[in-house]
Amino acid sequence: MTAPIDIVDVTKRYGDAMALAGVTLGIEAGEYCVLVGPSGCGKTTLLDILGGFSDPTGGAVRIDGREMVGVPAARRPTTTVFQDYALFPHMSLLDNVAFGLRMRGLGRSRRLARAEEMLELVGLAGAGAKRPTALSGGQRQRVALARALAVEPDVLLLDEPLGALDLNLRRAMQDELKAIQRRVGATFVHVTHDQEEAMAIADRIVVMNAGRIEDQGPPERVYRRPASRFAAAFLGEMNFVPGVVQGGRAMTVFGALGPATQLPEGARVTLCARPEHLRPGAGVSLGVVRVIEAVFQGMHRKVTVLPEAAPDTPLRARLPVGLAADVGDLITLALDAEHLTLLEDT
C-alpha cells in the first residue's frame, strides 16, 4: 500500500545536455513529496524515471528496497497521473476507473464495486454512468486520480496534476489531494512549477534547478532556512544582504548580522531575510529607510525601501497597514535577527 523511495546519484543525459546532473533523494513511505522548480529543471525527467517511462544514464532507483532500473512501467508498484488525464472518452467514468483492474484480472462485479468506491473517494459518488466529455476539468482530474488509485499503487506519481485548472479550483483541489493521500496512505510524488502549491501540499518539498536539487525537506524549514540562494528566492520574496565574515559573524553595511558562523575570516557570505522579518521596532536596526514603493495588500502593506546606510540595496518589507509608510516617507526599520539565514557565496 505504500513504499519508500531511494534515488541515488541519478543522472540523465540527452546528447550533450544533462537533464539530471546527479540527484540523490530519499522519500519515506507514505510521504507527500513535491518536486518544484522552473521549466526545464528536470522534474518531469525524474518522475518519468520513477515511473519507468525513461531510463537514467547512471545511478540507482529503489522502491521498497527493490532496484527499478530496467523494470518496465507496468511491473512497478507505481501508477502515474498524466497532466492531460488520458481518460477514454467513449467509456463511462466507472469503466474508466475500472480499466486498470480489468488488466489485473479482477472479475466484473469486484471491478465495478471498487471503481464505485474510488469515485466516492474523489467526491464523484453516483456519477459513474457519465462520460468524461460531460465533465469539467476539475472533475476529469478526479476521475484520473480515482483510476490511478483503484489499482492500489504503493507510489502515485502526478505530473502537474492541477495544471489545467483555474486558480480557485486549483487551490481547492490541493487540499483534496492531500486529504486523499492521507486516507489512502500511498507515497505521492507530485511535480509542479507552482511554489505555493508545493508548500501547501508537501510533507517534503524538493526544489530543483538545472538538473540538481537545491534544497529539500519540510516546506517550513526550506522556506525559513533555505540551503541555497536559488531555493530562497524560488519559494518567495527574499532580501539578500552581502557580507564578509569577521570574528565569526557576518559584517554588513548594517553592522554585524545573523548567526555565528564557522566560516573562515574573509569568506564572502549573503544574509537572507524574508520581507515579513523586516519591521518597525525591536531587532537589529537598519536605521532610517526611505519608502520608494508601497502597495496595499489588504492584510499588510508591501513596501520597497532604500536604507540611508545602503542606498544601493533596496529592501522589501511587509508592514502592518496601520503604520504610515507612503512613498517618500522616512521610517526606521529593524531586522528580526532570529530569522536571518547565512549562506556562503559560491
Residues that bind ligand ATP (CB under 6 A): 14, 17, 19, 37, 39-45, 193
E strands, the chain, are: 5-14, 17-27, 32-36, 58-63, 66-67, 78-81, 155-159, 187-192, 204-209, 212-217, 239-246, 249-252, 255-257, 268-273, 278-279, 284-296, 300-307, 315-320, 330-335, 341-344
Give the separation between CA 47 and CA 274, rounded to whole angstroms: 31
**CB 42, min distance to ligand ATP, A:** 4
45 versus 78: smaller Cβ distance to ligand ATP: 45
**CB 191, min distance to ligand ATP, A:** 6
193 versus 290: smaller Cβ distance to ligand ATP: 193
40 versus 314: smaller Cβ distance to ligand ATP: 40
Measured in whole angstroms, how far is the alpha carbon of residue 304 from the centre of its chain?
Answer: 27
40 versus 255: smaller Cβ distance to ligand ATP: 40
**CB 189, min distance to ligand ATP, A:** 13
163 versus 242: smaller Cβ distance to ligand ATP: 163
Q: Would you state the cell numbers that stand for residue 317, as one nine-digit string?
A: 518589507
Q: Write out 131-145 in H/E/C secondary structure.
A: CHHHCCHHHHHHHHH
25 versus 106: smaller Cβ distance to ligand ATP: 25
| Sequence-separated (6 or more) residues with CB below 8 Å from residue 28 | 4, 187, 204
37 versus 217: smaller Cβ distance to ligand ATP: 37
**CB 141, min distance to ligand ATP, A:** 18
Give the separation between CA 52 and CA 69, rounded to whole angstroms: 8
**CB 68, min distance to ligand ATP, A:** 18
**CB 231, min distance to ligand ATP, A:** 15
| Sequence-separated (6 or more) residues with CB below 8 Å from residue 134 | none
Give the separation between CA 3 and CA 30, rounded to whole angstroms: 7
For residues 36 and 192, is the Cβ–Cβ distance under 8 A? yes
Query: Hey, is 99 helix, strand or coil?
Result: helix
User: What residue spans of 128-262 are helical by DSSP H?
Assistant: 137-150, 167-184, 195-201, 219-224, 229-234
**CB 209, min distance to ligand ATP, A:** 9
